[in-house]
Structure 1
Amino acid sequence: MRFVIDDDARTLIESIADFFERRGDARSIADASTGSGAADRQRWNALCELGVPVLRLPEPDGLGMGLLEASAVAERFGAVLLPEPATAALVLAPVWAAHPAGAKKLDDLCTGSLITTLSVFDSATVSPAGEVTGRIRIVDGGSGDTVALLARDEYTRGEVLVILDRSELDRSGNGLPLDPTRPVAGADLAGAEPLDILRLTPGQANRIRHEVAVLSAAELVGSMQQVLDETVEFVTNRTQFGRPIGSFQAVKHQLADVYAMTEQARALVRHAAIAVDDGAADAAELVGSVARWVPRSAIAACETAVHLHGAMGFSWEVDVHLHLRRALVARSELARFEPATNPGQLAQAG
């Protein structure tokens, strides 16, 4: 297994981090969280220009990186609570590139002309006549132009990737979403007409689910690192009883626990990413562990951060509570993940 992220990938990661910092995205996303939750097209186009969608495409058309590098990039998305479905682009680009009918979709994705969200943990079906039925949950409920979802094909008994126009979906959602930076919407598929249907092998469908789980967890790792950094800075500057509260042993121990959880989560996510790329026999088991353990760790880390911020932790002046909200939604989403029962399917899809 290759655990080292090369210099090219590190350069890209640093470029993305610098991009977010120059724009002040971490603060602007938090400030905009009480708004509509709509995608920022300018930010999305800039991320496309940086090469995010082509990261996993083979050279010379792409950057030739793997799921390990993609997970490290996804950490940067989680650190700023990125609303746009960038991880969906990291998963979909290789799918479009490998499919005979995917050229136009790949071009739209990579140029930023279309924002596509991805729903892979729901139960949807496609009839022999091409009718889609079911109800799905769309994370990034305020973003995107189209939705790509995994569905069961009643004719072949296999799975397909269905592309739907978001504007035609009968969507419903809470007026006050738990995570205002990335709202979740429910959508009834009855009567929805697919823009396209791509047939997949069992290995391809399972790999898509595994990649989504890994990259979603990687975003949480970035979120954990961010709240750790913010909390360390806060307790260093906040004084009580004539000294910084970070100098008290009880505070130090809690931050040490958050640090340990963050590093353990990062190691598990990256191990799973490599296993999926390599088609390892234990890939499904590792991804299942990621889906169960990382969200719980992220929630624990964020709850500690909120606690150590005191009353400020619940206020809109700091964003640690937004990271907690993101982790709670992610736990609900990843709880629906079911690893492939046949580990060899991932190797076949690679």
Structure 2
Amino acid sequence: MKIGYDAKRAFLNNTGLGNYSRWLIKAIAAHYPGNEYFLYTPRIKLNSRLSFLSQYKNLITITPESKFFTSWWRSKGIVKDLKRDGIEIYHGLSHELPSGTDKSGIRSVVTIHDLIFMRLPGNFGIISRKIYEAKVKYACKVADKIVAISQKTKDDIIELLGTDAVKIEVIYQSIDPIFTITQSEEQKEAASSKYNLPAQFLLSVGTIEPRKNLLLLAKALKYVDVIPLVVVGRPTKYLDEVKQYLTANNLINRAIFLHDVEFADLPAIYQLASAFIYPSRYEGFGLPVLEALNSGVPVIAATGSCLEEAGGPHSLYVNPDDEKDLAEKVSLILSDNALKQNMIAQGLQYAANFAQDKLSAQLMQLYKNL
């Protein structure tokens, strides 16, 4: 088969949608080398996370002929190139499909990660929200198949967009294999020294924005015995609110914020943590939770979206507005080593459900069915 991908995020985005795109492209190319995979991107940007492209001869990168009007090319003009290249299936990896795909004779798939802009509209400007809504509604209407990255996302698509459930298939996302490798003591010591990490710490990873709800964890520190918190993630204005609370409550010295952590150092940081906390109010899947489980770290996450799907039955969960319950669960993990070790063992076992070979097989079966 010749399969085309909207690879913009793979080339130009280093966080969630980019991670998903790179994972899927790499996994499908590695496990199914007999096909050709065309990566369509409006431009190419040097990115160390794309080093795998040179390893697979079945990956072909396509850019538009002109550097002008690249947005139009991605949203409509690309269809001509798909026909030229003999693409049989085109997969939009981030919520959208180009106009005219449904009339091109090319089968189409779209991945919907979440409907956050509909569930939490206050987090988006009205123009951005309308654009997202129009793109998602169109893609779900014309796609032959929709991939939802969690059952929660599938339920939201059915409820909020009225899409037929038969059209939607849940295929989870896996993590970069780097998180499944046990780091050596030398690697851990190097990361600890590089980022000046304390001997013990709680860890939270993710963009520091209101939806991620870091303030809940800041509030919980008041009720937890002295242990530092390390936060890894890109800052936004929300960080000022978190720091103001920490300062007002004499907790600022217990928080360390790292905004420029190299991706290669993340596994060691995870594996050094005493517990991983992810109090997000809403996620499409919650990949950092799965990264933590694979790193052998006990997880506490918030209820209300899909994090139970990512964390499994042996992680702990709290209401995203209950800092005292969060503090109690943190204290429980820190004080009960038997519980902690059981959570680690069960978490590793649960994480095996998201192995790359299993998920890429589901994806390839979807393509074959089309």
Taking structure 2 as the reference length, the TM-score comes to: 0.25
Largest Rg, 1 or 2? 2
If asked which structure has higher relative contact order (CA below 8 Å, sep 6+), I would say: 1
